Amino acid sequence: MIRYCLINGVLTDAAQASIGLSDLGLLRGYGIFDYFLVRRGMPMFFDDYLDRFSRSAALLGLELPVSLPELKAHIFRLLEANGLSDTAIRLLLTGGYAEDSYTPTHPNWIVMQHPMPQVPARQHAEGIKLMLYRHVRELPEVKSTNYLTGIRIREALKSAGAPEVLYHDGRCVSESARSNFYIITQEGVLVTPRDKVLHGVTRKQVLQSAREIGIPVEERELLLTELPAAAETFLTSTLKGVLPVVQIDELRIGSGAPGPISTRLGEAFRARVEAYLQQQNLPEEREF
Amino acid sequence: MIRYCLINGVLTDAAQASIGLSDLGLLRGYGIFDYFLVRRGMPMFFDDYLDRFSRSAALLGLELPVSLPELKAHIFRLLEANGLSDTAIRLLLTGGYAEDSYTPTHPNWIVMQHPMPQVPARQHAEGIKLMLYRHVRELPEVKSTNYLTGIRIREALKSAGAPEVLYHDGRCVSESARSNFYIITQEGVLVTPRDKVLHGVTRKQVLQSAREIGIPVEERELLLTELPAAAETFLTSTLKGVLPVVQIDELRIGSGAPGPISTRLGEAFRARVEAYLQQQNLPEEREF
């Protein structure tokens, strides 16, 4: 049971929490967010997420009303108030209240806490199907709140039996609605798009794992025509970690089951999560 | 002083009105809206705006929780409660409250009233400058709440001395952030993009005026390369009516002053507004 959230730094009853109607996040979709998991009371890869939140804000010309250390302190305060050690945190920053319904003012910032979400175990065990869809996210480097296309096509995804989408521009594939995308070539090279995608925090960790393991990494354009020859494909996201992809539209990838390199990277990522937790050396008062 | 708004049909104090944080309009930019003027207590081109609102909703797979006649009755109720005869109304429909922060549920619908906005008189008298910017709105036929690009470039517009933008895709021009765009060719033909633009209600009225006056109308692709030869250019929107454009980036259009056909269409549009008001034959109780 999550009791509180933070609205502009004020601890607020989550059940009653609301935002005024002139907020530009609501009226004009002018907002950014970020989302991370908390394990044993510790926000995972905390600095990476806060850096990205701050970068997204800057790219929309929004000034964060608090410094990142202050934001951190607020987040720990919220975690303590709610008393859950395994959970998820959503940060939201909007263009603020606008009298003219258009021009950003003083941003509103919100911290919401969610129960730890579960990815169906079957998805990791068996891998999932993706549906190709032609779309390039607007300002893809910004973690904006704009999910018009991703949400609009959810029924088409369901009909296709594909839990996630794979966006492309007719020539290159880019990313999923909430995940990064990768292939392993027949030569054992990991390829993932470099530009016009959101630079995921999990992506960063998984690429580091790959390099440590000795898997060659290429961040570059990834052509649609490279998919049929892929030995393995997978997604990464905060929530999913490394999630094997075994089918893209009617194309079966490899043997149709999660491949060995995806599996190894998934293990390596979980080890990084564990190592991160060990390194943090939680002070006693944060172990609630 | 505007005292009330409507939230899901409930008359609410506008100063206190708010929406819960799990609303998908806020969290995911998943919402549509519409906006129209009210003159002498009468919503202008009311059915056209409600039809478009309903169309936008359908294109995002959102079901309007009230029928259009019920929505009309609610709007009149709000107008009566606030007691202003010249004003603007904003309708908003979102994906509703989502426990998973992603999947649309029962939509929230909101009716907000605003003071009648003013366009600086100088803009109509002298015409304005547009700044070209490469961008295609996501789902352009939908009046969604997504204004990421339009709002993000506002400082660049200001620096350029351009009150509005003109979007293009590298080959064709499409529309402004909140207005439709038109040229008058040297042969006196009105050309305006047909596809990948929002079909404005003012656009519809102005095209009807043009046909009545005997100006040939072409709804088709409008190439960037056609701009230098244009005799006149202008925008239309609910708020602006017909607004002459006299400069696009460094290109001066015609004489650099509002042209005769734009001026005539502006007059014709104002006459249509007047005729609409006459036709409505307001019942006594609505003349507040």
The answer on B170 and B241 residing in a single domain is: yes
**Cβ-defined contact of A155 to B61 (cutoff 8 Å):** yes
CATH of residue B142: 3.20.10.10
pLDDT for B223-251, tens place per residue?
Answer: 999 999 999 999 999 999 999 999 999 99
Nearest to A149 among B61, B110, B138 (CB): B138
d(CA B173, CA B181): 8
pLDDT at B1: 80
Classify residue B283: in a domain, yes or no. no
Taking contacts as CB-CB distances below 8 angstroms, the residues of chain B near A95 are 151
Q: A158 in contact with B at a CB cutoff of 8 Å?
A: no
The answer on A254 and A132 residing in a single domain is: yes
Classify residue A279: in a domain, yes or no. no
- Please report the residues numbered 189 through 248 in chain B whose beta carbons come closer than 8 angstroms to any beta carbon of chain A: none
Phi and psi (nearest 5°) for A281? Answer: 50, 60
Is A103 in contact with A29 (CB distance < 8 Å)? no
Classify residue B269: in a domain, yes or no. yes
CA-to-CA separations, B151 to B17, B155, B165, B265, in angstroms, rounded: 24, 9, 10, 29
- Report the gap between the CA of A253 and the closest CA in chain B (Å): 28
The answer on B93 and B207 residing in a single domain is: no
3-state secondary structure chain B: CCCEEEECCEEEECCCCEEECCEHHHHHCCEEEEEEEEECCEECCHHHHHHHHHHHHHHCCCCCCCCHHHHHHHHHHHHHHHCCCCEEEEEEEECCECCCCCCCCCCCEEEEEEECCCCCHHHHHHCEEEEEEECCCCCCCCCECCCHHHHHCHHHHHHHCCCEEEEECCCEECECCCCEEEEECCCCCEEECCCCCCCCHHHHHHHHHHHHHCCCEEECCEEHHHHHHCCEEEEEECCCEEEEEEEECCEECCCCCCCHHHHHHHHHHHHHHHHHHHHHCCCHHHCC
Neighbours of B256 (CB within 10 A): 10
The answer on B94 and B45 residing in a single domain is: yes
Q: Per-residue pLDDT for B43 more than 50?
A: yes
Q: What is the mean pLDDT of residues A84-97?
A: 97
Q: B11 in contact with A at a CB cutoff of 8 Å?
A: no
Taking contacts as CB-CB distances below 8 angstroms, the residues of chain B near A144 are 29, 148
Beta strands at A164-168 and A128-134: parallel, antiparallel or unpaired? parallel
- Of B80, B96, B115, which marks where a domain is finished? B115
Nearest CA in chain A to B155: A61
pLDDT at B202: 98
CA-to-CA separations, B90 to A235, B35, B184, in angstroms, rounded: 40, 4, 32
Is A43 in contact with A75 (CB distance < 8 Å)? yes
- Of A64, A96, A115, which marks where a domain is finished? A115
The answer on B153 and B65 residing in a single domain is: no
Classify residue A285: in a domain, yes or no. no
Residue type for position B157: L
The answer on A110 and A93 residing in a single domain is: yes
Count of domains for chain A: 2
pLDDT for A104-143, tens place per residue?
Answer: 999 999 999 999 999 999 999 999 999 999 999 999 999 9
Instruction: State the number of CA atoms in the 13 A half-sphere of A201 facing the CB.
Output: 22
The answer on A94 and A67 residing in a single domain is: yes
Q: Which domain holds residue A10?
A: 4-115
Classify residue A286: in a domain, yes or no. no
Taking contacts as CB-CB distances below 8 angstroms, the residues of chain B near A103 are 151, 154
Q: Per-residue pLDDT for B282 more than 80?
A: no
The answer on A40 and A97 residing in a single domain is: yes
Q: A28 in contact with B at a CB cutoff of 8 Å?
A: yes
CATH of residue A79: 3.30.470.10
State the first-to-last Cα distance of chain A, in angstroms, to the nearest integer. Answer: 15
pLDDT for A195-250, tens place per residue?
Answer: 999 999 999 999 999 999 999 999 999 999 999 999 999 999 999 999 999 999 99
CA-to-CA separations, A228 to A102, A186, A260, B242, in angstroms, rounded: 46, 11, 18, 53
The answer on B201 and B95 residing in a single domain is: no
The answer on A238 and A202 residing in a single domain is: yes
The answer on B134 and B44 residing in a single domain is: no
Q: Per-residue pLDDT for A283 more than 60?
A: no
The answer on B167 and B246 residing in a single domain is: yes
Contact partners, residue B278, CB within 8 Å, separation at least 6: none
**Cβ-defined contact of B148 to A139 (cutoff 8 Å):** yes
pLDDT at A282: 56
Classify residue B220: in a domain, yes or no. yes
- Of A47, A81, A115, which marks where a domain is finished? A115
**Interface confidence (ipTM) of the complex:** 0.96
- Report the gap between the CA of A181 and the closest CA in chain B (Å): 20
Classify residue A176: in a domain, yes or no. yes
Nearest to A148 among B17, B19, B30 (CB): B30
pLDDT at A287: 46
Nearest CA in chain B to A24: B26
Classify residue A280: in a domain, yes or no. no
